Copies of this chain bind each other. A is one copy, B any other.
């Protein structure tokens, strides 16, 4: 991976992605950490001070007006090589059952978890296409070493594995994100861009809570390992942090 942009990078899974990307044996030349308020992202700021690879980018996935400036910033840094990998990680978890789910939570969840990945993809697509076109990899093959979009998802979005109603705003939007992943694949595979959804597992973050079974370190090292070996066979799939297929 020549360059990677991670959205929602100020904490949790996103922050750990940035941390581990910077520590790879062959780290990307550019790691862009997208977050809504860079001035509050203390940990990212601390990391950026020690590492020129990391650039913090102001990016609110549910606010299109923040896109132009961040695209320009990334464009300037990556130049001709384009942006290799976009990790659509920003997401929110809202709870609610049939009687308790609010329409406000439904709407906000859709804006961040589904419209966000679509809008950010649209904004950075010219840079991703550039990376795909400039790649030295055989043009019949897809991989993160050429150009890829990784949509971060959850097993809670799996219809086959649905076992409760507790998370309606989250479950419905992640199911929709799986469909978006599939739809994008039809358009972007021919352009040389691999699209895959990755399930983080249940991770000890603000979102996952303290009782979750995986540390961020375990989840992200698993996902980075899975990402490394993705090919065109995986286009449109949802996979777990261990590389298993997540059933629709």
Answer yes or no: A199 CB below 8 A from chain B CBs. Answer: no
Residue of B nearest to A174 (CB): B179
6 extra interchain contacts, Cβ-Cβ under 8 A, other than A103-B115, A107-B115, A172-B177? A107-B110, A159-B175, A162-B236, A163-B186, A164-B186, A247-B248
Given contacts A103-B64, A115-B103, A118-B103, contact A98 B187 (CB under 8 A): yes
Interface residues of A (CB under 8 A from B): 64, 97-99, 101, 103, 106-107, 110-111, 114-115, 118-119, 121-122, 125, 157, 159-160, 162-165, 167-168, 171-173, 175-180, 182-188, 236, 247-248
Residue of B nearest to A193 (CB): B98
- Residues A159 and B187 in contact, CB atoms below 8 Å apart: no
CB distance from A190 to the nearest CB of B (A): 11
**CB-defined contacts of A97 to chain B, threshold 8 Å:** 183, 186-187
CB distance from A100 to the nearest CB of B (A): 9
Residue of B nearest to A97 (CB): B187
- Residues B165 and A172 in contact, CB atoms below 8 Å apart: no
- Bound CA–CA A112/B51 (angstroms): 47
